[in-house]
């Protein structure tokens, strides 16, 4: 997924942050979409969050990968971190329904220590790493305290769950209480339950869960690029025009 449009735009935003005001690009791109589409983007951005994020490790079934992305988009969880082991994370377009175009997905391809790298990045960003697993220290999701800080929920592969590497690095553990004979949920179903409950909790609280104004602008630019045909060429043309309009200080 890392090569697909709308997935990794870190280098793109680095460039526009360094060489041009983002507001100018946003204003330029708006002319290529309808007012109705702009209104929709403005509405959806208000419910986007990075207070909750999702980490999925070694998911191997395409329909589960797709359903997880679709679920994250439905509940406004913007970032999904994908850790590949012996399985490549591959979304089915018919199931995902284009959800990946509205998300920020960061993929850690298979290499030794990739789970550790993903978790370290999240910890550096201030996230609590919460493993969903049957563990002696697990607490029911219903009593989890979201007010303690940003949370990254980790979900593991369909058969064996999270790796020992992931479990050893987790700060906390949660479990979805089950009362049937089968004490295991499909991984995409578990993601749906966790994200629905989590987003409801933070939205109905005093927690500052929404994106910053700068994050909103970055994301709306990303969404516009994913909406407009041949957007890369349009952005190139704009950059060329913008640079040509700047005074020559040489």
Of 68, 221, 93, nearest to 154 by C-alpha is: 68
- 79-83 and 151-155 as β-strands: parallel, antiparallel, unpaired? unpaired
Give the model confidence (pLDDT) of 198-232 as tens digits. 999 999 999 999 999 999 999 999 999 988 999 88
Residues in a beta bridge with 210: 49
Q: How confident is the model at residue 189 (pLDDT cuts 50, 70, 90)?
A: very high
The confidence score (pLDDT) of residue 218 equals 94
Q: Which of 20-29, 191-200, 236-245 has the lowest mean pLDDT?
A: 236-245
Is the confidence at residue 89, as pLDDT, over 80?
no
- Which three-class secondary structure state does DSSP give residue 85? coil
Asked whether 155 and 54 are in contact (CB, 8 A), the reply is: yes
Name the strands in the sheet holding 172-175, side by side, starting at the edge strand that comes first in the sequence. 104-108, 79-83, 52-57, 151-155, 128-132, 172-175, 139-140
Helix (H) / strand (E) containing 53: strand 52-57
Is the confidence at residue 14, as pLDDT, over 50?
no
CA angle, 216 then 57 then 114, to 5°? 85
User: For a pLDDT cut of 90, what percent of the chain falls above it?
Assistant: 58
Helix (H) / strand (E) containing 153: strand 151-155
The confidence score (pLDDT) of residue 249 equals 58
Residues in a beta bridge with 49: 77, 210
The confidence score (pLDDT) of residue 179 equals 86
- Which three-class secondary structure state does DSSP give residue 197? helix
User: For a pLDDT cut of 70, what percent of the chain falls above it?
Assistant: 88
Q: Find tokens 């909103």 and name the residue.
A: 216
The confidence score (pLDDT) of residue 101 equals 85
- 104-108 and 52-57 as β-strands: parallel, antiparallel, unpaired? unpaired
Q: Classify 181 in phi/psi space as left (phi over 0), alpha (psi -120 to 50) or beta.
A: alpha
Cβ atoms < 10 Å from Cβ of 19? 11
The confidence score (pLDDT) of residue 92 equals 53
**In this predicted model, which residue has the larger pLDDT, 250 or 246?**
246
The confidence score (pLDDT) of residue 83 equals 93
Is the confidence at residue 250, as pLDDT, over 70?
no
């Amino acid at each position: 997924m890392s090569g697909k449009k709308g997935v990794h735009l870190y280098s793109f935003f680095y460039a526009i942050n360094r060489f041009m005001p983002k507001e100018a690009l946003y204003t330029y791109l708006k002319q290529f979409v309808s007012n109705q589409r702009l209104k929709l983007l403005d509405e959806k951005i208000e419910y986007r969050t990075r207070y909750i994020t999702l980490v999925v490790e070694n998911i191997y079934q395409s329909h589960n990968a797709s359903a997880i992305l679709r679920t994250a988009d439905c509940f406004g969880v913007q970032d999904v971190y994908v850790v590949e082991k012996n399985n490549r994370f591959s979304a089915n377009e018919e199931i995902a329904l284009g959800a990946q175009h509205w998300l920020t997905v960061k993929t850690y391809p298979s290499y030794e220590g990739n789970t550790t790298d993903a978790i370290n990045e999240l910890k550096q960003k201030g996230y609590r790493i919460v493993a969903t697993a049957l563990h002696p220290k697990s607490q029911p999701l219903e009593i989890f305290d979201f007010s303690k800080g940003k949370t990254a929920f980790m979900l593991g592969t369909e058969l064996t769950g999270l790796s020992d590497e992931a479990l050893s690095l987790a700060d906390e553990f949660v479990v979805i209480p089950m009362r049937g004979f089968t004490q295991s949920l499909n991984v995409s179903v578990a993601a749906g339950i966790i994200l629905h409950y989590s987003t409801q909790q933070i939205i109905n609280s005093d927690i500052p869960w929404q994106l910053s104004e700068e994050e909103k602008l970055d994301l709306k630019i990303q969404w516009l690029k994913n909406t407009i045909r041949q957007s890369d060429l349009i952005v190139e043309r704009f950059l060329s025009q913008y640079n040509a309009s700047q005074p020559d200080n040489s």
